[in-house]
Structure 1
Amino acid sequence: MDLNFTEEVMYTLPFYLGPLFILATINFLRKQKNYRLNDTLTNATIALGNLGLSFIFLLAVVALYTLVYNEYRLVDLDQSNPLIYLLAFLVYDFLYYWNHRFHHMIGLFWADHLVHHTAENFNFGVSIRISYFTELTMWMTFIPMAFMGISLEVFLAASYTQIIWAFCIHTKYLKKTPRADKIFNTPSLHRVHHARNRQYIDKNYGGILIIWDRLFGTYQRELESDPVVYGVRESYPSFSPLVINSYYLKTIWQKIKCSRSVFEVLCSIFAPPAWLPKNANKADFYSLTAKVKSKDFKPKDPYICKRTKWTAFVRFSSIVVLFTYLMSYFGELPTLPLVSLSLLFFWLCHFNGLVFDGAKLGLPMEAVTQVLYGLILYWAIETDQAAWITLGTATLALISLCNYVIYRTRPTAPVELSAELQ
């Protein structure tokens, strides 16, 4: 099994991050505010984590799908017939609707899918803001296609069509599409799906076709009388990808601790997100943010100065370099550099998130970074790796240290902003 992902990184990374930064740059030059730096880099780092883990998880999913298709398919379909692609598209879209709906209905699945909904801006970056573990919860719904005799190649064609469509509908443009809204999941309808407005919650689950929502009673059009406000009722507490990917799991654990029976424990894990144990105090689960009316809701946007923003962007550049090297040589790396690189990647993503939170980060935070770099540097020197690996590691460690020094000497928020943020 090939665990080096050089080709996957080469083709996928530009497709993931290229459009995001092109659109963000255009947005910046036009002095618009739909692509904030904190939100954009958080989307990108979450996407990288998802991408890396998906490369690995998909090997198992593909192997399982192939096994079911080869050994247990119920009918033999002509895979060369163009109609097989139409069948696969319709079946995939139908299963996607229910997969998506289950992710809103089942607490454990919501812990995964919530990551996508925590975005409080709506742009292309949201389309790649996907949980680290989404492949672990997505695959089960689509295995019936293998039993139906739809080959892996045809299944992947239907899947990629869905992915491309999903990228395209995460936009605030195309305001009114009344005719298309009757058949397709349009940007307008998907904006509704991402809204925190009460009447918009849990609506429009469809992938490409919206007809399933019309059939099963979850259709809702965008209303001029109720402008869409993005995010979740319980606002996420951080820009850190690690916090965002784990914070609803903490809520599930709180529910379990409040449970007084096996039934309540099971409901804590699998019941809809709104469910609470009988003995639970709502104040422990829902902050004041949940009570804020949508028209009064403001996206989370702590103040950080330009100097600190530059350090965050430089750190993100280092994250991309580390990710590319790690995934390209994943199957060849010994345990020490593999573990150190993996930990360093997630640590730097977390570090950047805390910077965007406006947190005061002490020397121990940077010390962890330097220790991880030191372990990689030790391995490179001890095993006589290529000079570019040793030099590159030392350079990134030095850049990280300089970033920390600059961040530590950052100016505080201006007086007028400080008062507003308190």
Structure 2
Amino acid sequence: MNYVLYAVPFFFLLIGLELIADRWRGRSSYRTADALNSLSAGVLSTTSGLLTKVVGLLTYTFAWQQLALFELSAQSLWVWLGAFVFYDFCYYWNHRLGHERNVLWAAHSVHHQSEEYNLSTALRQTSTGFIFGWIFYLPMAIAGVPPLVFLSVGALNLLYQFWVHTRHVPKLGWFEWVFITPSNHRVHHAQNPVYMDRNYGGVFILWDRLFGTFQEELDEEPVIFGVTTPLASWNPIWANLQFYVQLWRDAARAASWWDKLRIWFMPTGWRPADVAARYPQAKPDLSRFCKFEVPLGLGQKWYAGVQFAGYVVAGTWLLGTGDTASLGGLLLAWGWMAFGLFAIGAWLENRPWARAVELLRLALNWPVFWAGAALGMLPMNALGWGLLALYSLVSLAALFGLPRREAALAV
């Protein structure tokens, strides 16, 4: 069962309730562009996952078939309970090393780039974590946990983590000693020195208490969310590439071949001495921390939000039908999704060329939808083409109807 697919409506319902709670309590934990950027990263991640999940699934299944030490039954409740705890233990080490090694942080940093903390942040996920993430769960395969159980407890672990991404829930007493909570996970998303690289568990905080990585949220130290090298962009493609590009540039600049290689696997933040001397990187002064923002008119925000809603629908459709789609169809869907989310990001950044990219995006919908219908992925008929035409006309009218002075604003 695809638990994430069925959870999507509840994700957005809870985000709506959090927005109401914001208004009721006089808080402001959402900004339109930031939330859309987080959700765009999530939609891109789920679409990418349709192409990349085979990496983890095949390696896990092969290890389970060839190396399993025990025959564990998927019919046993104790196997499920043990696997749920075992998965979180593996997740702890995957997550911890994701903060402690450069190449793993390059993938995981996407989840931490938002300078807000709300339920949309929970959906901000990487598209490249599949490269190394599968390695950390092989002990479960060797122990004999069946693939069905592994996939199910993994999905449940991910779903649990959604609710802890909120500022509206205070400390929860004894619960804080056993489980990940909003309070101790707020610490995890902080860039304050006292909080950094702490509280890695997915469901259980016990691992952090056991291995010395626990940090309580302090009343005297308000959390400042984000990363010490700010993304400063609303582009989900760049969000996934930013740190890889930084590592690549440092590797290319290094004089030593050994440094060119080891930079990828060194502790996070390590740079070759010669590169650090020639290209110093200043860290922001948190006492004067300023969130990234681009001035946008209300019409521009509404336009971006409505366009993005279409990609949410498309992403949900793909989650439900992707298992039956061909590789060519999935590649087409990923390319269409990636370009569309890139275009929305450019629009939110008020790029001078954003309107031209929007025109191209609207034009490309036609051949892409035709190809999708030809591949059997889309049930396009006369009504479908009529709705696409109506959508295109309304989008064009809104695109050119926005006040020119708003569109002239730029970063």
Contact 1:9 1:324 (C-alpha < 8 Å) held by counterparts: no
The one-character-per-residue Cα deviations of 1:31-52 (angstroms, maximum 9, x if unpaired) are 5311221122112211111112
- What letter corresponds to residue 229 of structure 2 in structure 1? E
TM-score (norm. length: structure 1): 0.85
- Partner of 2:263 in structure 1? 268
Contact 1:304 1:356 (C-alpha < 8 Å) held by counterparts: yes
- What letter corresponds to residue 165 of structure 1 in structure 2? Y
Q: What are the within-5 Å matches in structure 2 for residues 11-160 of structure 1?
A: 11-24=6-19, 26-28=21-23, 32-160=27-155
- What letter corresponds to residue 39 of structure 2 in structure 1? A
TM-score (norm. length: structure 2): 0.87
More divergent stretch after superposition (58-67 vs 130-139): 58-67
Q: What are the within-5 Å matches in structure 2 for residues 264-303 of structure 1?
A: 264-281=259-276, 284=279, 286-287=281-282, 290-293=283-286, 295-303=287-295
Q: Give the deviation of 1:147 after TM superposition.
A: 0.9
In the alignment, is residue 313 of structure 1 matched against residue 313 of structure 2? no
Structure 2 distance, partners of 1:407, 1:189, is 43
Structure 2 distance, partners of 1:86, 1:329, is 30
Structure 2 distance, partners of 1:297, 1:43, is 20
Q: Give the deviation of 1:12 after TM superposition.
A: 4.6
In the alignment, is residue 251 of structure 1 matched against residue 243 of structure 2? no
Q: What are the within-5 Å matches in structure 2 for residues 159-170 of structure 1?
A: 159-170=154-165
Percent identity reads: 27
Contact 2:346 2:354 (C-alpha < 8 Å) held by counterparts: no
Q: Give the deviation of 1:389 after TM superposition.
A: 3.3
More divergent stretch after superposition (240-249 vs 77-86): 77-86
- What letter corresponds to residue 244 of structure 2 in structure 1? L
Assess, with a 3 A threshold, how the Cα gap between structure 1 residues 122 and 382 changes in structure 2: closer, same or farther: closer
- Partner of 1:228 in structure 2? 223
Instruction: Look up the SS of the partner of 1:199 in the other structure.
Output: coil
Structure 1 distance, partners of 2:16, 2:229, is 28
The one-character-per-residue Cα deviations of 1:298-322 (angstroms, maximum 9, x if unpaired) are 3222221111111111211232344
Structure 2 distance, partners of 1:195, 1:402, is 42
Contact 2:350 2:407 (C-alpha < 8 Å) held by counterparts: no
The one-character-per-residue Cα deviations of 1:168-192 (angstroms, maximum 9, x if unpaired) are 2111133233533333222111111
- What letter corresponds to residue 102 of structure 1 in structure 2? L
In the alignment, is residue 323 of structure 1 matched against residue 315 of structure 2? yes
Gaps of 5+ in 1: none
Return the match for 1:411 from 395, 406, 409. 406
- Partner of 1:373 in structure 2? 365
Q: Give the deviation of 1:121 after TM superposition.
A: 1.0
The one-character-per-residue Cα deviations of 1:75-98 (angstroms, maximum 9, x if unpaired) are 123444433233223322221111
Assess, with a 3 A threshold, how the Cα gap between structure 1 residues 153 and 78 changes in structure 2: closer, same or farther: same
The one-character-per-residue Cα deviations of 1:255-284 (angstroms, maximum 9, x if unpaired) are 111212222012221212210111114684
Structure 2 distance, partners of 1:252, 1:34, is 32
Contact 1:185 1:209 (C-alpha < 8 Å) held by counterparts: yes
Assess, with a 3 A threshold, how the Cα gap between structure 1 residues 362 and 119 changes in structure 2: closer, same or farther: closer
Structure 1 distance, partners of 2:41, 2:105, is 17
The one-character-per-residue Cα deviations of 1:104-139 (angstroms, maximum 9, x if unpaired) are 112111111000000111111111100112233322
Instruction: Look up the SS of the partner of 2:6 in the other structure.
Output: helix
- What letter corresponds to residue 280 of structure 1 in structure 2? V
Q: How many residues align?
A: 407
- Partner of 2:388 in structure 1? 393
In the alignment, is residue 361 of structure 1 matched against residue 339 of structure 2? no
